[in-house]
Amino acid sequence: MNYEKELLIPKKIISERIKELADAIEEEYRGKELVLVGILKGAIFFLTDLARELSLPTKIDFIRVASYGSKMEPGAISLTKDVELSVEGKPVLIVEDIVDTGQTLSYVKELLEEKGAESVKICVLIDKKERREKEINIDYCAFRVEKGFLVGYGLDYNEEGRCLPEIYVLKEQK
Ligand code: IMP
Ligand code: MG
């Protein structure tokens, strides 16, 4: 299938929204040392931009999961890279590119809770509503969309489009 991309969220809007999220996160975690746990690879740009806006003592780590689905369809999840820092007794904020069915985030949240984190909250770049299967509380969200397949700013389609600086929606070519 062939797709063309249409600009959805420009760079300036992304960075303004990240500053607002950082202000709210600072407010909540003031006086604490926060651990940001990014989910590879999609969250890399979001996490690094967010982390640099936070005036808090912050540590970063990454987790990676594999989802056995097709390129656009979700599937079963398994852990392929665990966190390396100890999160025991620490406030943790998971940073993810997009929540779709909610399977990935509920899996990762449970895993970090089992490691004894003081708290585990969730920060996503995009909350995509249409295909949600798991009830999941999103604590911080930059943008909400109803549906569609997005690329750019970390989001990929079969590894393509990830490094685009803005967020696009894929449209099937007529
Ligand atoms: P969930 O487990 O169904 O919530 O899926 C989350 C994962 O699916 C994300 O981490 C992405 O890797 C991938 N995903 C879902 N929707 C999109 C999209 O629109 N663009 C790129 N990746 C997506
Ligand atoms: Mg992902």
Considering the chain, what percentage of its residues have pLDDT values greater than 70?
96
73 burial (CB, 10 Å; 0-12 / 13-18 / 19+) is exposed
List, in order, residues 6 or more apart from 22 with CB less than 8 Å away.
Answer: 50, 53, 54
pLDDT at 131 over 70: yes
pLDDT score for 6: 97
Ligand 1 pocket check: which of 46, 98, 99 to mutate, most ligand atoms within 8 Å of Cβ? Answer: 98
The pTM (predicted TM-score) of the whole model is 0.95
Q: Catalytic positions, please?
A: 100
Q: Which ligand is nearest to the CA of 74?
A: 1
List, in order, residues 6 or more apart from 167 with CB less than 8 Å away.
Answer: 7, 8, 9, 14, 126, 143, 150, 151, 152, 153, 155
CA separation for the pair 47, 154 (Å, rounded): 10
Do 59 and 70 touch, CB atoms closer than 8 A?
Answer: no
- Mean pLDDT of the 6-25 span: 98
Distance 85 CA to ligand 1 centre (A): 25
pLDDT tens-digit readout, 35-53: 999 999 999 999 999 999 9
Assess if CATH 3.40.190.10 describes domain 10-147.
Answer: no
Distance 14 CA to ligand 2 centre (A): 18
For ligand 1, residues with CB inside 6 Å are 42, 74, 96-104, 128, 149-150, 155-156
User: Could you write out the DSSP letters of every residue in 96-159?
Assistant: EEEESSSHHHHHHHHHHHHTT-SEEEEEEEEEE-TT--S----SEEEEEESS--EEBTTB-BTT
pLDDT at 61 over 80: yes
pLDDT at 82 over 60: yes
Distance 32 CA to ligand 1 centre (A): 30
